[in-house]
Structure 1
Amino acid sequence: MNRCQKACASLLVKALPDFLKCQPLNFKGTEGVVGLTQWFEKMESVYSISNCTVACQVKFATCTLQGNALTWWNSHVKTTTPEAAHAMPWRTLKKMMTDKYCPRGEIKKLEFEMWNLKVKGNDVVTYSQRFQELALMCDRMFPEEIDQVEKYVGGLPDTIHGSVMATKPKTMQDAIEFATELMDKKINTWAERQADNKRKSDDTARNNQSQQPNKRQNTGRAYAAGNGDRKPYGGPKPHLCPNVIITMSPCAPNASKCKPNCH
């Protein structure tokens, strides 16, 4: 073993414990499309956290294979050499495992879902997560990352679609971050308006309630005033006997000056 090989081996020994400390997922080959997608995601996350070098990615990833998946990998190694097998790019390993553990019919279903994927309501977070999961399994749909970005932006709701397009995002990370931030602002603004309208409605209701007792008091006063200030009778006066007018007493039965209807 030459000096360069010794240095690489030493680096590998030091890097592997850091990789394993990040608790990468194991893969047996029986988890289906969803399980494989989660294994891809977790592995890429561990690469980033553990500072795993590109040269070690496939070597470390295949250390987590178990059961049928491990048997499949060992068979592949026998067709070449361990050095050549471990030297392949991570993207190549992903494609090989996708072809092996994701039936063509399942991939077609995922591609159909991807083409029709759109944000439901205002839930950009769920849309973004599902988009990324599908993108991992539908590599052939997007030769370049900008193709993914265009499809992602196309599935956003009209309320933020134009604003996200105006920023011209170049990467998926930029598009997702901007869309999520913009939708959060829209939702917060809507919530604030709703709260403000509720406060105004509550204030109006309280003002109406506070004015009702005053109306009842004013009504009572008006009723009392009406009973005390009676106007004099303005209609025709009844016909009275002259005797009654003078004496304020009924006239005698034989009063000659009384009119016939006086009694």
Structure 2
Amino acid sequence: MCWINKIESIFNSTRCSEEDKVRFAVFMLKSNALYWWNVESVAQPNVLQTMSWEEFVIRFKTQFYPRTAVRQMEEDFLKMEQGNRSVRDYTEKFIEYSQFVEHYVSSESRKVKRYILGLKPSIREFVIAMDPATFSLAVNVVEVTERNKNRQGEEKVVEKRKWEGSSANFRSSASFRRPKFIKSDNYSSKQPPARTCPRCQQVQQETVNPNRKDVTDAERQVIYQGISLYLKGVFNAIHLIIFGRTTHN
């Protein structure tokens, strides 16, 4: 079929007359095709003068495109989808297979519908909304849609890289660094001196006076928290003794 289309394209370019089409096509035959035509010429000596171009095409297809092969191509055509192919690759494949399944693309509307059906869903919905009337218009719409989507994808990648770069710079900046808490040497090295209780004769740690000048702010805060917890415990014990007895009586 590709060879037939190529020959017909030459006919249109050279304005070949109907009576000269078969002669020109026979001149372009090679190898097995030329051998086939020689056999036809022996069976019908005047075939070159009497055969029309339409009849030549039918005999050519019958000889070199068996029905089983055409049927397989029909099945492949009906299952054809764009998949990971570009729009151009899909379109070229669609045109190639359309030559063997003419009854599926017998009209322009059927051809457009079948072409749109095999597109990617992301592209197909835009093309359906445009409702192209011809196959060439549908191809143009699909190509424009693909270019727009590719451009949008590239812009998203650029924006993502910019965001990742700014985020990395922010994390590495000094303003984002957590302050390091340095343990005070005075607080860690100073230990209150031990003393012996005159009653129980047990060694006890001397209570640090928070008003001493050598006490740091951190130590003073810890002391105040300890005193607060101690007083709270004493208050709870007194409250339990007083009100607990009252409730019991």
Tell me which residue corresponds to 1:125: 88
The alignment's TM-score, normalised by the length of structure 1, stands at 0.60
- 1:219 is paired with a residue of what secondary structure? coil
How do 1:75-224 residues align onto structure 2 when only pairs under 5 Å count? 75-76=39-40, 78=44, 80-85=46-51, 87-89=52-54, 92-121=55-84, 123-211=86-174, 215=177, 218-219=179-180
Contact 2:117/2:124 (8 A) holds in 1: yes
How do 1:19-30 residues align onto structure 2 when only pairs under 5 Å count? none
Separation in 1 of the partners of 2:129 and 2:21? Answer: 37
In the TM superposition, what whole-angstrom CA distance separates every residue of 1:114-153 from its partner, at most 9, and x where no partner exists? 1111110363222212111111122233322332221111
Separation in 2 of the partners of 1:146 and 1:184? Answer: 25
Tell me which residue corresponds to 1:73: 37
- Cα 1:67–1:165 change in 2 (3 A) is same
Contact 2:21/2:53 (8 A) holds in 1: no
Contact 1:169/1:175 (8 A) holds in 2: yes
Separation in 2 of the partners of 1:81 and 1:46? Answer: 22
Select the structure with the greater relative contact order (CA < 8 A; seq sep ≥ 6): 1
Measure how far apart 1:45 and its partner are. Answer: 4.8
Contact 1:149/1:175 (8 A) holds in 2: yes
Which of 10, 28, 47 pairs up with 1:64?
28
Measure how far apart 1:75 and its partner are. Answer: 4.5
Measure how far apart 1:100 and its partner are. Answer: 1.1
Contact 1:164/1:179 (8 A) holds in 2: yes
- Cα 1:229–1:116 change in 2 (3 A) is farther
Measure how far apart 1:180 and its partner are. Answer: 2.0
Contact 1:154/1:161 (8 A) holds in 2: yes
In the TM superposition, what whole-angstrom CA distance separates every residue of 1:40-74 from its partner, at most 9, and x where no partner exists? 344355456xx221525443232110233123334
Contact 1:122/1:183 (8 A) holds in 2: no
How do 1:245-260 residues align onto structure 2 when only pairs under 5 Å count? none
- 1:170 is paired with a residue of what secondary structure? coil
Give the superposed CA RMSD: 3.3
Contact 1:119/1:157 (8 A) holds in 2: yes
Which of 230, 235, 243 pairs up with 2:216?
230
- Cα 1:161–1:54 change in 2 (3 A) is farther
- 1:61 is paired with a residue of what secondary structure? helix
Contact 2:22/2:48 (8 A) holds in 1: no
- 1:119 is paired with a residue of what secondary structure? coil
Measure how far apart 1:175 and its partner are. Answer: 1.9
The alignment's TM-score, normalised by the length of structure 2, stands at 0.63
Separation in 1 of the partners of 2:127 and 2:71? Answer: 29
Quick one: percent identity of the two aligned structures? 19
The gaps in structure 2 that reach 5 residues or longer are 188-213, 225-249
The gaps in structure 1 that reach 5 residues or longer are 1-36, 236-263
